[in-house]
Amino acid sequence: MRTFSLVLPAFTCLAACNQGAPPLADTTATAATAAAGAVPAREARLPVDGGLIWYRVVGSRTATPAILLHGGPGLSSYYLRSMEALSAHRPVVRYDQLGAGKSDRITDTAMFNIAHFVRELDSLRAHLGYAQVHLIGHSWGTILSIEYYRAHPEHVTSLTLMSPALDMPAWVRNASRLVKTLPESAQKAIARREADRNYLAPDYQAALDDYYGKYVWRRPAEADLDSLAARINEGIYTYMWGPSEFTITGTLKTYDATPYLRDVKVPVLFTVGEFDESDPPMVKRLAELTPRAQSVVIPGAAHVVQWDAPEETNRVIGAFLQSVDSTKAKP
């Protein structure tokens, strides 16, 4: 099965060929969202610092809205589509961070930083008129969630931190451990290509297949992989993260939010896949450092739980959001 190797370093030609091409549609409603939404989804593009971002709002109920923050950096919200089912109880906002997906492409590295994406998120929240929101971040989106909360705690009702990347030194150590579970040929290829920085070499790409198939996702659909690949901004991913999920060389390499977790005053849900590269013990430790936190392991899933276990993921998160809203509503 083809995995993320097409989507990251090896999609260079694919991504370049899509520069300037019209954005692909990703608005086909799932059965869940069709059943949940009495009001048609609303899509628009919002001017922010550096360009226009695409967003989509699904749902019309009166509960506190939720904003989905995709991973990467440089991916798109496409893979989060199944989470629009949460709109059965509240408005759910899915958007593509500037530079990727259906938002404007950017190449200026001065905007490839946390502060830029925090300002962008606040522009979207303010434009939608939401005084408070639930933030639901996945992977890199958990960094954005925490940093937004630090900047604007008054606007955050809860945090859902899915497959978090909040302690990058620990992530790097765990990634090295996971690489050692791969076949010896894959380990040798990784060591060789990291040394000569030849990340497009066929043997490195084959090693990516091994790693991603175990720890990033387990049941990807070919069409979803193709669509996700067509929306990535490789420049942002490489600059901030690195050439792959286990070769971390970018500006986020030393990021560590653990000193801030003790200061989080809103309810927090941590989720992690059973086979997640985020590592269940690491996520449990993060939850233990956070005062009002709980952690849940999603059975049978790797990092992209939205593809591996969408129903269970939505059940767990939906129940958490409703419990927070219920508690908040009490006098």
Q: Give residue 135's identity as a one-letter amino acid code.
A: L
DSSP code, position 163: S
Is the CB of residue 200 less than 8 Å from the CB of residue 9?
Answer: yes
The catalytically annotated residue of 89, 134, 138, 303 is 303
Angstrom distance (rounded) from CA 274 to CA 23: 34
Kindly name the residue from 76, 139, 145, 158 that is annotated as catalytic: 139
Which of 96, 276, 279, 308 does the annotation list as catalytic? 276
Beta carbons of 74 and 106 less than 8 angstroms apart: no
Tell me how far apart the alpha carbons of residues 191 and 254 are, in angstroms, rounded to a whole number.
Answer: 21
Q: Is 139 a catalytic residue?
A: yes
Tell me if residue 256 is catalytic: no
Distance CA 309, CA 232 (A): 23
Q: Which long-range contacts (CB under 8 A, 24 or more apart) does 276-280 make?
A: 276/163, 276/215, 276/301, 276/302, 276/303, 276/305, 277/163, 277/171, 277/174, 277/175, 277/178, 277/215, 277/216, 277/245, 277/246, 277/302, 277/303, 278/139, 278/163, 278/164, 278/165, 278/171, 278/303, 279/174
Quote the CA–CA distance of 1 and 19 in Å, as a whole number: 27
The CA distance from 113 to 117, in Å, is 7
- Told to judge if 104 belongs to the known catalytic residues of this protein, a careful annotator would answer no
Q: Report the candidate in 96, 82, 81 with the shortest Cα–Cα distance to residue 23.
A: 96
Q: Is 309 in contact with 276 (CB distance < 8 Å)?
A: no
Residues with a catalytic annotation lie at 139, 276, 303
